[in-house]
Structure formats: structure tokens, C-alpha cells
């Protein structure tokens, strides 16, 4: 595997884990009632631990992979002079320092208990996502435009994570609608998620359009550039995701009153998760390409 391919894989794993931690923690903290939140915490603890390990491993690997990519290959991955140059003289170095700090907070949050643990984890995961704005195409700008682009990137990542990252606890919550012990809490959590989801989807679309205009300057239809081709595919998948989300909320959920089967809703939500991973994979690739 080339350093560039390894860096793309590392970015994919980091983004996916950070979005999962942000969305899941936000759902548990602010959507689920206290008893349900504790139950979800127990059921998802292994996934949470795995995501934390992915973040730590990816963060540790980012800097050597950057060095290998910028330098002459794997031989430069651990070269002290190359690592120091990246840390002190590049946006990638600034981003890594921010990521390492947020990863440290994430580790510290794992040593806490109760609701505070997920609040601390949500904040840590949000900072992990925001750290991604230090690199990428926002760094091409300068002055106020760079700041605005980074702010827009941050909103895009946080709203996308709040939507897609929370789908895993949503899948875990859905069967509880048929459990008398958890039915009311599950309904409350899902309705809160639905309300927040409307805002998150609107922000994803709005910030995505702004990002496209800032980077490409127009609709990404010049497919001789791989960046614009992959971005077009991402936009298509996002519209499929939005269609699924609308179908879930306004077709499948009302149908539960007539047909209590959860299978269609569970399958549609699982499809959203799969498509969300596809979006992350595309972003991990075209984030390394020139847009024009």
C-alpha cells in the first residue's frame, strides 16, 4: 500500500469513528431520557470503545503518514527532521496538534462515568471533527475567506455527524418501541432525534452548497477532474440519503400506527448508515485531489 492510499484509509477510519462518537454521544445526552440513555450506553459500550481506539490509532498514524506522503515514501515516515518540519511549518501539523489534543480529551472522558461521560465525549468528538477544518481545501483561502470556509466546514461536519452518527443508537432504539418498559422513552428519543434531524439535514445541504461554491465556484460538472466527478457522486448519494430520511419520517413512521412491523424502518435506517459510509469514503478520496 502506498503512503497516499494509507493516508486515505486512515482519514476514512478517523472520520467515521469521530462522527459515530459525536452523533452517538449527542443522541444519548440530548435526545434520550435518562433511563434510556443509561440502557443505550450499556448496549453500545463496546462500539464506543472500538471507536475510541480507532481515533487514537488514526491520530497516532496521521503524522507519519503525512511525512511519508510529503517526503520520499515510507522511509520518511519516522524521519525526525521531516516530522518536525510538518509540525512546525504546515497546516497539516497544526491539524495534527489539534487532533492530538482532542484525542487526549477523548481518552480523559473515557475515565468518567454517567451522563457526564457522554457530554465530555460529545465535546471531544466535536473538537475532533472541527480539527479537520485546519487542512483540506479551506486552507487554499486566506484572511476572512479562510475563516469563513473553516466555519462552514465545521458546521458541515458537525451537522453531518449529528445526523449520520446518531443512526446507530436509532437502530438500537427502534426495537424498544415494542417493549412496554422502554416504549415511551424510545418514542420520546426518536421524536427528539427527528426534530433535530430536520435541522441537521438542512445544515448539511446548505453548508454543502456553500462549500461547493467556495471550492469549485459552480456546479461540479467538469468530470475530467476526478474531484468534481467524485463530488457529483457524493451529492447524488446525499440526495438519496435525504429521500430515505424523508421517507422514514413521513411514510414509514406514520405507517406504524396501522402496521407495527419495524422491519421496513430498520432496513431504511440501515441503508442510510451504509450510504453514510460511502459518503465518508468518497470524501476521504477527493479531499486529497485538486478540484480544478
Q: Cα(283)–Cα(277) distance, rounded to whole angstroms?
A: 10
CB distance 269 to 190 below 8 Å:
no
pLDDT at 215: 87
pLDDT at 114: 66
pLDDT at 141: 66
Q: Cα(147)–Cα(135) distance, rounded to whole angstroms?
A: 12
Mean pLDDT of 73-85: 86
Position 218 pLDDT exceeds 90: no
Q: Cα(6)–Cα(198) distance, rounded to whole angstroms?
A: 35
pLDDT one-digit tens code per residue, 81-122: 888 888 888 888 888 899 999 999 999 887 777 667 888 889
pLDDT at 217: 83
Ranking 23-27, 55-59, 144-148, 170-174 by mean pLDDT, the lowest is 144-148
pLDDT at 6: 92
Mean pLDDT of 194-208: 93
| Residue 11, C-alpha cell as written in the block | 482519514
CB distance 3 to 69 below 8 Å:
yes
Residue showing cell 466555519: 151
DSSP summary character for residue 110: T
CB distance 34 to 196 below 8 Å:
no
Cα(first)–Cα(last) distance of the chain, in Å? 27
Position 142 pLDDT exceeds 80: no
pLDDT at 137: 67
Position 240 pLDDT exceeds 90: yes
Q: How many CA atoms lie within 13 A of 137 on its CB side?
A: 21
Residue showing cell 458537525: 158
pLDDT level of residue 43 (50, 70, 90 thresholds): very high
Nearest one of 208, 230, 212 to 159, comparing CA atoms: 208
pLDDT one-digit tens code per residue, 156-176: 999 999 999 999 999 999 999
DSSP secondary structure of 189-218: HHHHHHHHHHHHHHHHHHHHHHHHHHHTSS
DSSP summary character for residue 27: H
pLDDT at 175: 93
Nearest one of 121, 197, 202, 115 to 162, comparing CA atoms: 197
Amino acid at each position: 500500500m502506498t503512503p497516499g492510499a494509507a493516508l486515505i484509509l486512515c482519514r476514512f477510519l478517523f472520520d467515521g469513528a469521530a462522527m459515530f462518537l459525536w452523533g452517538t454521544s449527542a443522541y444519548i445526552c440530548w435526545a434520550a431520557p435518562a433511563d434510556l440513555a443509561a440502557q443505550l450506553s450499556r448496549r453500545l459500550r463496546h462500539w464506543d470503545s472500538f471507536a475510541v481506539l480507532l481515533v487514537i490509532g488514526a491520530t497516532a498514524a496521521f503524522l507519519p503518514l503525512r511525512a511519508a506522503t510529503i517526503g520520499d515514501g515510507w522511509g520518511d515516515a519516522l524521519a525526525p527532521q521531516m516530522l518536525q518540519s510538518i509540525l512546525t511549518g504546515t497546516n497539516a501539523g497544526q491539524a495534527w496538534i489539534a487532533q492530538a489534543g482532542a484525542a487526549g480529551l477523548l481518552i480523559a472522558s473515557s475515565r468518567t462515568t454517567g451522563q457526564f461521560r457522554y457530554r465530555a465525549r460529545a465535546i471531544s468528538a466535536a473538537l475532533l471533527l472541527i480539527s479537520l477544518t485546519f487542512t483540506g481545501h479551506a486552507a487554499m483561502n486566506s484572511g476572512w475567506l479562510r475563516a469563513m470556509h473553516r466555519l462552514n466546514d465545521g458546521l458541515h461536519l458537525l451537522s453531518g455527524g449529528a445526523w449520520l452518527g446518531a443512526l446507530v443508537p436509532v437502530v438500537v432504539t427502534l426495537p424498544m418501541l415494542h417493549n412496554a418498559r422502554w416504549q415511551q422513552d424510545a418514542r420520546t428519543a426518536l421524536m427528539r432525534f427527528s426534530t433535530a434531524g430536520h435541522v441537521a439535514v438542512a445544515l448539511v445541504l446548505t453548508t454543502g452548497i456553500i462549500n461547493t461554491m467556495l471550492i469549485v465556484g459552480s456546479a461540479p460538472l467538469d468530470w475530467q477532474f476526478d474531484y468534481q466527478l467524485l463530488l457529483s457522486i457524493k451529492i447524488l448519494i446525499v440526495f438519496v440519503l435525504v429521500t430515505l430520511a424523508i421517507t422514514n419520517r413521513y411514510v414509514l413512521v406514520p405507517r406504524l400506527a396501522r402496521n407495527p412491523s419495524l422491519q421496513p424502518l430498520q432496513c431504511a435506517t440501515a441503508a442510510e448508515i451504509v450510504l453514510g459510509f460511502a459518503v465518508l469514503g468518497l470524501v476521504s478520496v477527493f479531499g486529497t485531489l485538486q478540484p480544478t
